[in-house]
């Protein structure tokens, strides 16, 4: 990707029929990538044409979640056709990730290859994913943004002003504060925050009751606060419970919405796919 100029215009402008969702979070580890991957598969299961851009350039986990990563963490390189790249397809979803472009030396793991890029390089990479990857006609494009309020979020705001932003948070009040900030950045770059997804909510216990490992109410709180700063209400779109099956599915590269559709987390994500 290095050094190439972006020649084509950026697609997904105001006349595009593709719905573009940028999935963001205030901090890492809240399940943003897991939610993105499962949501993409749930949408594809409904017959929609879905693409995912893994824009989490430093913490790319999308290839693994889609079962596209080998044991050493490397992901297949997209096929080149002319000057376009054909993205690999997994579970009916077209997937592109920076993890597919790393040159990993023989015998090393992909995780040992850091992507230490500055803002302009990141910007060019995201622009190139948009212009040089052949997604065809998509109904939905999901972007897995890096956590926080950094360069990539700002680039996506500039490149895809029509993208709608979904903020993922855990139910903890402290997480709500940082999640709110990522929503505020989206607003500053002119994007619309459409909703909040609360992840890692209460885990139903075998003997009855619910274990609220990460507290409760964070998703509702972020939605309420962001509603105050948007021109439209920001809804709590889903509350996804803690789930062993979801975590195991992520580790195995088999999204829980396919591996165990009756699992409560899978049910919550499928309902989210109906809603957006």
Positions that interact with ligand ADP (CB under 6 A): 25, 28-34, 61, 199-200, 240, 242-243, 246-247, 250, 265
Max alpha carbon distance in the chain (Å)? 60
250 marked ligand binding residue = no
Give the residue with the Cβ less far from ligand ADP, 50 or 269. 269
Give the residue with the Cβ less far from ligand ADP, 204 or 233. 204
CA distance 51 to 145: 14
Q: Write down the least CB distance from residue 185 to ligand ADP, Å.
A: 16
Q: Write down the least CB distance from residue 124 to ligand ADP, Å.
A: 23
- Name the E strands within 65-163: 79-81, 84-86, 89-90, 93-97, 140-144
150 marked ligand binding residue = no
**Which residue is nearest to ligand ADP, using beta carbons?**
31
Structure-token pair, residue 107: 């015998």
CA distance 46 to 119: 36
28 marked ligand binding residue = yes
Give the residue with the Cβ less far from ligand ADP, 36 or 132. 36
Q: Write down the least CB distance from residue 211 to ligand ADP, Å.
A: 12
31 marked ligand binding residue = yes
Q: Are 107 and 113 in contact (CB under 8 A)?
A: no
Structure-token pair, residue 31: 């399940």
Structure-token pair, residue 81: 């056709």
67 marked ligand binding residue = no
Q: Write down the least CB distance from residue 201 to ligand ADP, Å.
A: 8
What is the radius of gyration, based on Cα positions, of the chain? 18
Give the residue with the Cβ less far from ligand ADP, 29 or 76. 29
Give the residue with the Cβ less far from ligand ADP, 213 or 233. 213
CA distance 193 to 276: 12
Q: Write down the least CB distance from residue 13 to ligand ADP, Å.
A: 28
166 marked ligand binding residue = no
97 marked ligand binding residue = no
Instruction: Please give the annotated binding residues for ATP, written as ranges.
Output: 26-33
Instruction: Please give the annotated binding residues, written as ranges.
Output: 26-33
């Amino acid at each position: 990707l290095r050094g190439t100029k972006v020649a084509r215009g950026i697609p997904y402008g105001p006349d595009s029929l593709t719905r573009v969702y940028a999935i963001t979070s205030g901090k890492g580890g809240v399940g943003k990538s897991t939610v993105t991957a499962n949501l993409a598969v749930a949408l594809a299961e409904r017959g929609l044409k879905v693409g995912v851009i893994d824009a989490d350039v430093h913490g790319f986990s999308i290839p693994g979640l889609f079962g596209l990563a080998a044991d050493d963490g490397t992901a297949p390189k997209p096929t080149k056709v002319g000057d376009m790249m054909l993205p690999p397809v997994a579970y009916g979803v077209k997937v592109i990730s920076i993890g597919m472009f790393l040159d990993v030396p023989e015998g090393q793991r992909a995780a040992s290859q850091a992507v230490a890029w500055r803002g302009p390089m990141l910007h060019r990479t995201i622009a190139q994913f948009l212009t040089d990857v052949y997604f065809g006609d998509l109904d939905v494009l999901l972007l897995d943004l890096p956590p926080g309020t950094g360069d990539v979020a700002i680039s996506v705001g500039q490149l895809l002003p029509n993208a709608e932003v979904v903020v993922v948070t855990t139910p903890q009040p402290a997480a709500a504060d940082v999640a709110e900030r990522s929503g505020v950045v989206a607003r500053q770059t002119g994007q619309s925050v459409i909703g909040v997804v609360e992840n890692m909510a209460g885990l139903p216990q075998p003997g009855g009751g619910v274990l609220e490992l990460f507290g409760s109410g964070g998703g509702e709180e972020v939605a309420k606060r962001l509603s105050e700063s948007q021109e439209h209400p920001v809804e709590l779109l889903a509350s996804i419970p803690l789930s062993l099956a979801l975590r195991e599915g992520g580790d195995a590269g088999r999204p829980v919405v396919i591996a165990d559709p009756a699992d409560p987390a899978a049910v919550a994500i499928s309902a989210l796919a109906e809603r957006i």
